[in-house]
Amino acid sequence: MIVIFLFWALSPQAFAAPSSAQQTLLKQQRIWFHQAHRALNKHDMKTFHRLQAKLADYPLTPYLKIWQARKALKQGNDRIAADTLVRFADIPESRNLRRAWFKSLAKRGRWAHMDNMMSYYPKLASRYPDTAMLTNWHVGKKQLAINQFSERWQKGKKFPVAYGLLQKAWTTQGHPTASERWNLISRLARQGKWKQARKLARPLPKKQRHWLTYWRNVQKSPEKALQHWPASIPPVQAAMIISDGIKRLSRSDAGKAWALLKQLEALDGQHINGDYLAKLERFTALRAARQHKPEAAQWLASLDKSVQNEDTRGWRNRMCILQHDWQATLEAIAAMPEQEQQQSRWIYWSARAADAIGEPEAARFLFAKLAGERGYYSFLSAERLGQPFQFNASGITASDAMIASIEQQAGVQRAYEWLKLGKRSKAAREWHHALAGANPERWQAAAILASRWQWYDQVIRAAFKANKLDAMQDRFPIAFEKSVMKAAKETGLKPASIWSIIRQESAFNQHAVSYVGAKGLMQLMPKTARKVARKLGMGKGRPRLFSPSVNIRLGATYLATQKSRFGNLALASAAYNAGPHRVSRWLKRMPFDDPEAWVEAIPFNETRRYVQQVMAFVSVYEWRQKKPSTSLIARLHEQIQQVSMNDDALKKPALVRGGNP
């Protein structure tokens, strides 16, 4: 075991290239660690203890202790859990043990102990609000528990029998109040759960139950029902019903929703709050803008100043740009706060507008403000001035001593072992926990260390933490080159296009999983991946999406399918992010005659940024490959295809939040 201690004390260079004997020992320890974990899960404690003894100095041995403590909780052994949490408080896995202990105490009704835990670890209460509420009830904080019950009940939470006494005390105090009941009714009605909503409304007076009937009619036919507004409905319920109806109508026809709002404004002010209607006007005007309705620009300009914000001002500009109303564009940008005017986006469009109205000197001045920088608008500006793209690259540096101090941290050593075991999420958790609070200099050293480990996504993140945004070689790695080149040859895509999608989708984290379930380097949905795999003759099973070669091949094929469908990388990348049917719909609403304006008016902020980043990253990756930069403007203007809403090309479910403009 002394050998292991000496190994971890070696220099960075020795750590990166351990001796053959050290490598052999580490490989054996990793096998023993895996076997010990498996023995623990099988309750084979004899084997577990034998293997654990061989791993005394192995960096991940504390995990075995923590997992053993979790097992002991099933026998109600709190002492082992308490001792383990104290001993290994600095290991992220201890959080899992603490949560498991908290839930174990709840099952056993150890309320005082749970209350004590929550005082030391407040996050437990936010993570387990119902359990925290029940704890407050049992330790005598009854009014607090009752208040929490009200909040949870209004959100539609259903409670098991264990909450019976608390619920009885809640009802004894006069709950649910009419206001609470209507809050839950509103939630259920918006979700279309009318059976539950009507059941909840039974104790209400007959007059109020009629309001619910009217609300149902509003949902069925917003335009018709809202034109005959019952003045007897009080402001609170009016706000609920009008908001639901207007928002539903605006999704299908924002013009009718806007006209209805103007009618409602004429009603008696005591029934409908003017500030509230102004916010609905903002919602409707923004919805119209995202649907690319020409009248949206005027609506946005007419909004009360109290409800205008960066979103409304931005979309007013975009509508002027779409209509090529360049004078109005300049006026709209000039009306923005100074901080917004200085954003690259609006400097660029000010330049485009100035050029369009015959002020070339002003245009060149504005383009020049951006052309020396790096990014989508800067590259476009440089092209319009006939200048080369500027990448302004620099490197990351750190002393050997700083790198050594990073790699000798116990948490960093554990991160490395998890990497070697293929558990990247655990590795990342250890890595970030060990480096929490690090200054930029230490993050530079961490970036160099992660680069040695070929841990590309953490190199990118470390460079960001170090504020080294000019470290272009580190932030834009030429990774998985063999698979990318093979996929490029197979699909006809440029390697730079594939790398750009990988960089934007996963930042080269081959085990990335999105909140909607997209997986791997190119963030493929499993259903889409299976369709592409069958198209390629790869079988009917589930593709190995965490395999870089498999993921890149499938993702590149899907991207090529979209590029074949639309004929343009900008549109293909929009389809990759938001879904091809949405792109087809947007093309019907706004022609692609000015691609820069089209991209600027993409309804989803996420997709707009996505497309702009991908297009700029292509230029970056051409530079990384030491190839001449191709024209970004030419790529944007690449001829598109005539597309159909019924095209049966492979579809990737949308990965963006929001509705379906």
Concatenate the DSSP letters of all residues of 318-355 into one string: HHHHHTT-HHHHHHHHHTS-HHHHTSHHHHHHHHHHHH
Taking each helix axis from N to C end, the angle separating 400-407 and 440-452, rounded to the nearest 10 degrees, works out to 80
* pLDDT per position as a tens digit, 201-233: 999 999 999 999 999 999 999 989 988 877 788
The verdict on residue 157 lying in a domain is: no
What does the DSSP 8-state code read for residue 204? S
> At 292, phi and psi to the nearest 5?
60, 40
- Domain endpoint, select from 308, 335, 365: 308
Q: What is the pLDDT of residue 236?
A: 87
pLDDT tens by residue, 450-475: 999 999 999 999 999 999 999 999 99
Cis status, amide bond into 176, omega within 30 of 0: yes
Q: How would DSSP label each residue in 463-490?
A: HHHTT-TT-HHHHS---SHHHHHHHHHH
Same domain, 404 and 296: no
Residue 57 has a CB neighbour count (10 Å cut-off) of 14
> Which residues neighbour 389 within 8 Å (Cβ) at sequence distance 6 or greater?
374, 378, 379, 382, 619, 623, 629
Please return the burial class of 650, using the count of CB atoms within 10 Å of its CB with bins 0-12, 13-18 and 19+.
middle
The secondary structure of residue 513, as a DSSP letter, is B
Q: Measuring CA to CA, which residue among 525, 496, 523 is closest to residue 653?
A: 525
337-373 burial, b if ≥16 CB within 10 A, otherwise e?
eeeeeeebbbbbbbbbbbbeeebeebbbebbebbbeb
Same domain for 632 and 485, yes or no, is: yes
At 660 the pLDDT is 57
CA distances from 621 to 136, 190, 475, 613 (A): 57, 47, 11, 12
How would residue 264 be classed by pLDDT, with cut points 50, 70 and 90? confident
Query: Is there a catalytic annotation at residue 490?
Result: no
For residue 56, tell me if it sits in a domain.
yes
344 occurs within a structural domain: no
Q: DSSP for 48-101, please give it.
A: HHHHHHHTTT-TTHHHHHHHHHHHHHTTT-HHHHHHHHHHTTTSTHHHHHHHHH
Residue 144 lies in a domain: no
Q: Are residues 455 and 541 in the same domain?
A: no
Does residue 555 belong to any structural domain of this protein? yes
pLDDT tens for residues 407-419? Answer: 999 999 999 999 9
Any domain includes 393: no
State phi, psi for 183 to the nearest 5 degrees. Answer: -60, -45
Same domain? 46 vs 92: yes
CB atoms within 10 A of CB 43: 8
HEC-encoded secondary structure of 633-646: HHHHCCCCCCCCCC
- Average pLDDT over the chain reads 91
Whether the Cβ atoms of residue 587 and residue 653 lie closer than 8 Å to each other: no
Give the per-residue pLDDT at 382.
98
Which tens digit of pLDDT belongs to each residue from 21-77? 778 889 999 999 999 999 999 999 999 999 999 998 999 999 999 999 999 998 889
Q: What is the mean pLDDT of residues 423-438?
A: 97
Q: Cα torsion for 50, 54, 60, 66, to the nearest 10°?
A: 30
CATH number assigned to the domain comprising residue 525: 1.10.530.10
* Same-domain check for residues 524 and 562: yes
CATH classification at residue 33: 1.25.40
pLDDT score for 641: 52
* Cα–Cα distance measured from residue 96 to residue 362, given in angstroms and rounded to the nearest whole number: 60
pLDDT tens column, 125-160: 999 999 999 999 999 999 999 999 999 999 999 999
Both 424 and 540 in one domain: the answer is no
The predicted model gives 373-379 an average pLDDT of 98
Same domain? 206 vs 125: no
> Residue 181 domain-assigned?
no
CA gyration radius, the chain: 30
Give a yes or no: residue 545 inside a domain.
yes
* 232 vs 167, more confident: 167
Q: Which residues contact 567 (CB under 8 A, 6 or more apart)?
A: 638, 639, 640, 641
- In this prediction, residues 531-546 reach a mean pLDDT of 90
DSSP per-residue letters across 514-555? -TT--BTTTTB-HHHHHHHHHHTT--SS---TTSHHHHHHHH
Q: Of 308, 326, 353, which residue is a domain's last?
A: 308
Instruction: State the burial class of residue 160 (Cβ atoms within 10 Å of its Cβ: 0-12, 13-18, 19+).
Output: exposed
Q: Choosing from 93, 417, 505, 596, which is the catalytic residue?
A: 505
The reply to whether 512 and 440 lie within a common domain is: no
**Whether residue 497 sits in one domain with residue 461:** no
Average pLDDT over residues 166-193: 95
Element (H, E) at 569: helix 569-578
Q: For residue 267, what pLDDT is reported?
A: 65
Assign residue 395 a region: left if phi > 0, alpha if psi is -120 to 50, beta otherwise?
beta
Position 11 pLDDT exceeds 50: no
Which residues sit opposite 513 in a β-bridge? Answer: 519
How many domains does the chain divide into? 4
Residue 623 has pLDDT above 90, yes or no: yes
What is the SS3 assignment for 28? helix
Domain interval for residue 560: 481-636
Q: What are phi and psi of 513, to 5 degrees?
A: -135, 125
* DSSP-assigned letter for residue 195: H
Residues 487 and 621 in one domain: yes
Distance CA 523, CA 503 (A): 11
For residue 273, what pLDDT band results from cuts at 50, 70 and 90? Answer: confident
Give residue 124's pLDDT band: very low, low, confident or very high (50, 70, 90): very high
Same domain, 495 and 610: yes
Say if residue 646's pLDDT is above 70. no
Q: Which of 293, 308, 323 delimits the end of a domain?
A: 308
Q: How many CA atoms within 13 Å lie on the side-chain side of 186?
A: 18
8-state DSSP, 628: P
Close Cβ partners of 100 (under 8 Å, ≥ 6 residues apart): 70, 73
Cα 33 vs. chain centroid, distance in angstroms? 34
Q: What is the pLDDT of residues 545-600, one digit of tens each?
A: 999 999 999 999 999 999 999 999 999 999 999 999 999 999 999 989 899 999 99
Nearest to 178 by CA among 244, 219, 245, 234: 234
Q: How far apart are CA 519 and CA 510, in angstroms?
A: 8
Q: What is the CATH number of the domain that holds 458?
A: 1.10.1240.20
Task: Please tell me whether residues 73 and 107 are part of one structural domain.
Answer: yes
CA 76 – CA 109 distance, rounded (Å): 12
